[in-house]
Amino acid sequence: MVRFGKFQNRLKAFVIISVVVFVSCNNETKQPVEAPKVVEAPRLPTPDFNADSAYACVKAQVDFGPRIPGTKAHAKCAEYLVAKLKSYGLQVSVQNGTVKTYDDKQFTLKNIIAEYKPDLGNRVLLTAHWDTRPWADLDSINKTKPFDGADDGGSGVAVLVELARQLSISKIEKGIDIILFDIEDYGQQSSKTEPQQEDTWCLGSQYWAKNPHKPGYFANYGILLDMVGGKNPVFPKEGTSVEYASGIVDKVWGVAAQMGYGKYFTNEVTGQTTDDHLYINQLANLKCIDIVHYDVEKHNYPYFHHAHSDNMDVIDKNTLKMVGQLLLEVLFTEK
């Protein structure tokens, strides 16, 4: 006879199954003695990421106009993102900080932080940047004018907002933090006479890494999304991610291969890029990788990078679906 006694430990998510064994006594009567055996809880099925919702969220951001620090569109979009994440039951806060840009302007940044099951340990950090670059300086025309930033900014945020919705429905027993960083894209571009000034980029993540929203904040690992909604995507292994967190790269690319996404999540390693994950690794000491569209042959980001063509026309629901589903699969299948 086997009797099952179930006990759910909220922190460790283990189920203890009591197994009955029999022992012999002197008078030949048999009494059951319970020997606990610890096994893992059956895992929740991976939810179905909704690309239509994610696409609508990219469009909602673009419809505000370019989300340039200091503009009305920027302020309105922050309100929208906070309300959206709150509506899914996450604990949302906005980290305000004063930063100075390379051109000597001062802004109050807004890092939007949404915590899913904030009381649980064993956390995962998911991030994207929600601001857009003020100028299409890599375009051949109108270099001083802003652009929509549908992919550069919009897509990563949209995937995480839809993921927050899926978490709230699934009720997975895991601590997850979504941080939407501000002022990632206000950096000084390299020129023929001047090299790129690395630390002028990623001001929101640099600020957060030096001033985490919770003292001593720790996550097991982090995943940054940047330009994850474009047509014909290629996501090679990004060099900074491989340098600091190769185990996480291998894990995520391994899941992608199992899901049949190997054609897009390729095994080439790019040069090291400067993105929010650099500062999360260096300053916050958390292992964080970057999933970013990059053309290995051209040694560059896609053609619409920091150009007027970064608008809704480049956004492909299939790409949003692939990246969102991959993230959910990683979260729902890992031990």
CB of 250 to Zn ion, least distance (A): 26
**Smaller CB distance to Zn ion: residue 166 or 206?**
206
CB of 110 to Zn ion, least distance (A): 18
The residues that bridge with 222 in the sheet, in sequence order, are: 125, 288
Closest by CA to 85, choosing from 182, 185, 157, 174, is 157
**Residues that bind Zn ion in the complex, under the rule CB under 5 A:** 152, 185
Per DSSP, the three-state class of 246 is helix
**Smaller CB distance to Zn ion: residue 291 or 331?**
291
**Smaller CB distance to Zn ion: residue 168 or 189?**
189
CB of 275 to Zn ion, least distance (A): 9
Per DSSP, the three-state class of 229 is coil
**Smaller CB distance to Zn ion: residue 139 or 185?**
185
Report how far residue 161's alpha carbon sits from residue 168's, in angstroms, rounded to the nearest whole number.
Answer: 11
Closest by CA to 270, choosing from 301, 296, 303, 302, is 296
Asked if 320 and 228 count as a contact pair (C-beta separation under 8 A), the reply is yes
Phi-psi region of 247 (alpha: psi -120 to 50; beta: other; left: phi over 0): alpha
Asked if 283 and 191 count as a contact pair (C-beta separation under 8 A), the reply is no
**Smaller CB distance to Zn ion: residue 110 or 117?**
110
CB of 230 to Zn ion, least distance (A): 12
The Cβ-side half-sphere exposure at 202, using a 13 Å CA radius, reads 23
Paired tokens of 163: 């993921």
CB of 68 to Zn ion, least distance (A): 12
CB of 2 to Zn ion, least distance (A): 58
**Smaller CB distance to Zn ion: residue 167 or 179?**
179
C-alpha 82: how far from chain center: 16
**Smaller CB distance to Zn ion: residue 177 or 185?**
185
CB of 202 to Zn ion, least distance (A): 10
Asked if 219 and 123 count as a contact pair (C-beta separation under 8 A), the reply is yes
CB of 255 to Zn ion, least distance (A): 26
The residues that bridge with 21 in the sheet, in sequence order, are: 33
**Smaller CB distance to Zn ion: residue 47 or 154?**
154
* C-alpha to C-alpha distances, 238 to 133, 169, 242, 275, 289, nearest whole angstrom: 21, 32, 6, 10, 8
